[in-house]
Chain A
Amino acid sequence: MAPPRSDLPQGTLDLLILQVVALGPIHGYGIAQRLQQISRDVLQVQQGSLYPALHRLENRGYLAASWKPSDTGRDAKFYRLTTKGRAQLKQETANWARLAEAVQLVLQAAGGGAR
């Protein structure tokens, strides 16, 4: 049986995409695969929302794209992070860490009370 899969919290897909792309130029399919692998199949990216998100990030100037030859022999669209995207990633990561920490704190405090 496949492990239970979690839906992504609202707004985190962009952060994850930026993080994956930060590792080096990569095409859309690669991003989907990489996300699934890294999260050990916990995070299943809805294919339907990946491309709109990619294009949104490209539109905002966080990602730049170019068509390059790929392993299949055909050209694929490779995305890479822009300077603006790198700054955005840094900021979003910090935001996320703060949020996660806060959630963790609340959970601990509440759990302590229940014990």
Chain B
Amino acid sequence: MASISFEGVAHSYERKPRGDRDYALKTLEMTFENGGAYALLGPSGCGKTTLLNIISGLLRPTRGRVLYDGRDVTGLRPAQRNIAQVFQFPVIYDTMTVAENLAFPLRNRGLDRATIGRRVHEVATMLELENVLGQRAAGLTADQKQKVSLGRGLVREDVAAVLLDEPLTVIDPQLKWLLRRKLKEVHARYNHTFVYVTHDQNEALTFADRVVVMYDGSIVQVGAPQDLFERPLHRFVGYFIGSPGMNFLPCHPTGDGLGIDGTDIVMGGAWFEKAAERAHARLELGIRPEHLQALATADGDTVPARILRVEDLGNYKLVTAMLGPHRLFAKVPEGQEIGNENTNLRFPPARTRLYADGELLV
């Protein structure tokens, strides 16, 4: 078990990287605390897998150092780093039985038979594989194969971290939650550092204590699921997490508040001063559909909007409304009146954020 730190790590797949654009992973400073359950979340091509492979040592970073518990491991091979890694597609040794698969890493290290047998049995029991130990691994189902590849990592007692690269991609939907629960169970029992790569926000938010959101080779926010939802530090986090994502309204400072671009509407509020400091930046108001209120009757702090569409999604209604030229989503509780053609939107100040050039201002 170990805490994993990145010191100025950057990686490029080009042989001679020139500009920032050539880097798949921009310079990172980051520490994964010992025993934490982390999720690396981001769209395809954002550098998640690159980051994971640098942790495991499959990739050597172009720049920077990787530390395990303060010890520099940048130059060590994956086997020397002693990590477990589960890949997107199950990797098993076809010609071996499940037991031989699980024993493989230990045999490669030359451990004695008794120890190997004990460890294999323990891990198989933990992963509920004891019934298939004697079977050929090639004949297993996809979820069992993923358990075997996880087990090959876990058999080593002193494993530094468990790395998972979208491990549920090929698992049947009804089995996904079972395997995910198993992963949580393994984490709770052994308290290894878990790093889980995914582009699925549900997986990330349900699995991890700390979610690392990545975008275009950089880490944009590290936080608990709640933080990411309530206070996205970057407009990308707001947009990427949530379904639908955060609403953004381009705006500009005017005499006594923030004018919404393309309308006559001016929003008053505490953020005015901050916004004035960054008058040349691209300013946007951000609010989650869950927090935006759509009301049938106007009052002092609402703004009028035109209803484009209302979708009934069972336990709530998804309202699509046009505020001037801007399209906004609002999730409205079942049974609440929203008006017929027009509605009145309220932006609760405590839930409304202001972004300058994509970064959180207020």
Q: Is B one of A's binding partners? A: no
Q: Which residues of A contact B (CB under 8 A)?
A: none
Q: Which residues of B contact A (CB under 8 A)?
A: none
